[in-house]
Amino acid sequence: MRIFTARDGWPVLRVRWADRLSKGDLAVLDEAVAFAVERHGDQTRPAGEPYVEHLLEAAVVLVEGIGVTDVDLLLAAVLHDVVEDTDTTLDEVRDRFGHRVATLVDWVTKPPRADGVGREEARAAYLARLGSAPDDAVLVKLADRLSNVQRLDTHPRPEKARSYYAETVRSILPLAERHPWFRDWFHTWRLEFGALAG
């Protein structure tokens, strides 16, 4: 199973992608990475890694996994959690990075829970909504989830890892069917982590 990492940070990725992306695209990615780092602050992943690694991993999946060079998709990958997990608004994303990027971020952002709606019900509704998302937004979501599950065995809470595995099989694998590369990667991932099925 291919693993995607971004431990070396944005400067190394920037050099690695210099032959794939224009100078202008790299410059706007500089801005997006700096914005994401500022907004996410000292947030970390469940296993303790800096949060920015996850954001960059999603972009690595798109560039190095499936060959995406559409800068709006890469910006959305870097910014995909900034509205959901920080005080940043969608309008701020739109003002800084454009309408299309904001629309992609909006598709992959879990909306605030309405009064009287349980956490699981709201999550299920969010995942179901992705079934009608445009392909570009689905690509961002698949890259996001791939980053989250590729090292599921490092999650510090085994019960959370099991439920996340089940949710991925139930709600994300059907989305991956739209895209052969993701379909094949998640098939291999499912074989690798099948023990989490219980």
Alpha carbon 61 to its chain's center: 9
CB 80 within 8 A of CB 58: yes
Q: Which two tokens stand for residue 196?
A: 């989490």
Distance of alpha carbon 108 from alpha carbon 98, whole angstroms: 16
Distance of alpha carbon 58 from alpha carbon 79, whole angstroms: 10
Alpha carbon 2 to its chain's center: 17
* Candidate list 84, 136, 167, 192, residue with the active-site label: 84
CB 18 within 8 A of CB 10: no
Task: Specify whether 159 is catalytic.
Answer: no
* Candidate list 25, 70, 85, 106, residue with the active-site label: 85
Distance of alpha carbon 118 from alpha carbon 182, whole angstroms: 31
Q: Which two tokens stand for residue 91?
A: 């309008």
How is residue 110 annotated by DSSP? Answer: P
Task: Specify whether 84 is catalytic.
Answer: yes
The residues facing 44 across adjacent strands are 50
Q: Which two tokens stand for residue 83?
A: 């509205």
Just list the catalytic residues: 84-85
